[in-house]
Amino acid sequence: MHPTSVLRARQAVPAVKGVRLFADEIDLSIHGSVQGLKEEWETLEKIAPVSVYQRFEWIETYLKEYGTPRGEQPFIAVGRHEGRIVFILPMSVHESWVRRLKFVGGSHVNFNIGLVAPEFADKLGPQCFDRIYRRLRRILPGVGYIALCCQPETWLGRPNPVRGAEAQRTGNPAYVLDLEGGFDATLDRGNAKRKRKKFRQQVRMAEEMGGHEFLMPRCLAEIEQIIDIFFEQKSRRLKELGIRDVFADHETKTFLKTLARKSIHADEPLLQIFALKVGEEIVAIFGGGSNNNRFSGYFSSIASGWEKLSPGEMLLYLVVEELCRQGYIQMDLGAGDERYKRSWSSERIETYETLMPFNRMALPVIILRRLFGNLRRIVREDERYWSLYKDLRKLKARLPF
């Protein structure tokens, strides 16, 4: 698709059980670039219940620094009804032996929810978007299937309308922490006494190791230096655990540093870096971005050899305290069932993946992906299977081949 091209489509889809769905009356336009949508997009993101991952600047930066260099073709679907914008779905086409349509950001995003105008939210829902996704099949010949991952079941207390009715639960839940009422109120909502006691112990231990410092770098050079340290720490840790390093490629590093550069002096940064320094070494790093007083964690890392201190948890305590001080009302701790997330979170949100074939060639891929998804969920939700899987993964990492 040419970067400036726009495809438009309006079609009458046969009504289900005699009921004409609102989805059939929506005008669809498909854009090969985000540039022509900037004004409408930024207006919608101010009123729609979205996360930082749906901000125009985040999407624009991702496509430029990460997606385009890796061959992703922007496919931004915009729905309008009687001239008024209903939704924006930031998607892209990924090239492979079976081409697929995905949300921009893919698994690098905690929450893929699209942008839906509040005035139309009650008219939309999973069945509506299933029909909209099927309409995209006729607009986009040559694409084998649609694969929309990291879709929350709910967002800000309401059902996620973009999640299709045929979506499959992933077994990779996301966790959210309520920050309203300030830091004391946040702690009091769960295990306050234990958290305070452990933090005091960590402080005493850190003082014995040379003292600690909570860092929030504002200078771009300092931010980029800490980002480089993050990549080193993360790469080492993932290698130890036998996990593929999704942060290793050049595009990811460029993307994060560009987000940081755009966030200097911003009221709502696309990337804010926090770090914990003990003695002369940075032992833990946490990064995330914000939108509408909600902070989403992107990544975290810890230095090897500091496990006794639990620097990641110590830094999280300091980050939560700082976010409360700044007036944030919610913190997204990210996807993945981890002990520290369960300990801190106020809400667990199930996530889903929508897999829909666009042609017969994609059917075997869809079947295999659904089977693998079910197997992965079973393993992830059973402590015995999950512990065995992690042990095997570490063993594989130690093998010389």
- Is residue 189 a part of any domain in this protein? yes
Task: Select from 256, 242, 278 the least CA-distant residue to 105.
Answer: 256
Task: Domain of residue 207: give its range.
Answer: 180-328
Task: Select from 2, 71, 65 the least CA-distant residue to 31.
Answer: 2
- Looking at the structure, tell me whether residues 140 and 191 fall in a common domain: no
- The dihedral built from the CA positions of residue 90, 95, 98 and 99, taken in this order, carries a sign that is positive
pLDDT at 185 over 90: yes
pLDDT in tens, 35-88: 999 999 999 999 999 999 999 999 999 999 998 888 899 999 999 999 999 999
CATH at residue 42: 3.40.630.30
- Is residue 336 a part of any domain in this protein? no
pLDDT in tens, 142-180: 899 999 999 999 888 888 888 887 889 988 898 999 999
- Looking at the structure, tell me whether residues 160 and 32 fall in a common domain: yes
| Rounded Cα gap, residues 146 and 136, in angstroms | 9
Please, are residues 300 and 288 in contact by the beta-carbon 8 Å criterion?
no
Task: Please name the residue that has the structure tokens 């086409």.
Answer: 93
Q: Give the Å distances, CA to CA, from 285 to 272, 275, 300, 329.
A: 11, 4, 5, 22
| Rounded Cα gap, residues 248 and 324, in angstroms | 32
For the ranges 167-181, 242-256, 366-380, the lowest mean pLDDT is seen at 242-256
- Looking at the structure, tell me whether residues 138 and 287 fall in a common domain: no
Which pair of structure tokens corresponds to residue 173?
């839940």
Number of domains in the chain: 2
- Looking at the structure, tell me whether residues 299 and 366 fall in a common domain: no
- Is residue 281 a part of any domain in this protein? yes
| Rounded Cα gap, residues 148 and 303, in angstroms | 34
Note the pLDDT of residue 400.
Answer: 60
Q: How confident is the model at residue 389 (pLDDT cuts 50, 70, 90)?
A: confident
- Looking at the structure, tell me whether residues 315 and 294 fall in a common domain: yes
Q: Torsions phi, psi of 205, nearest 5?
A: -65, -40
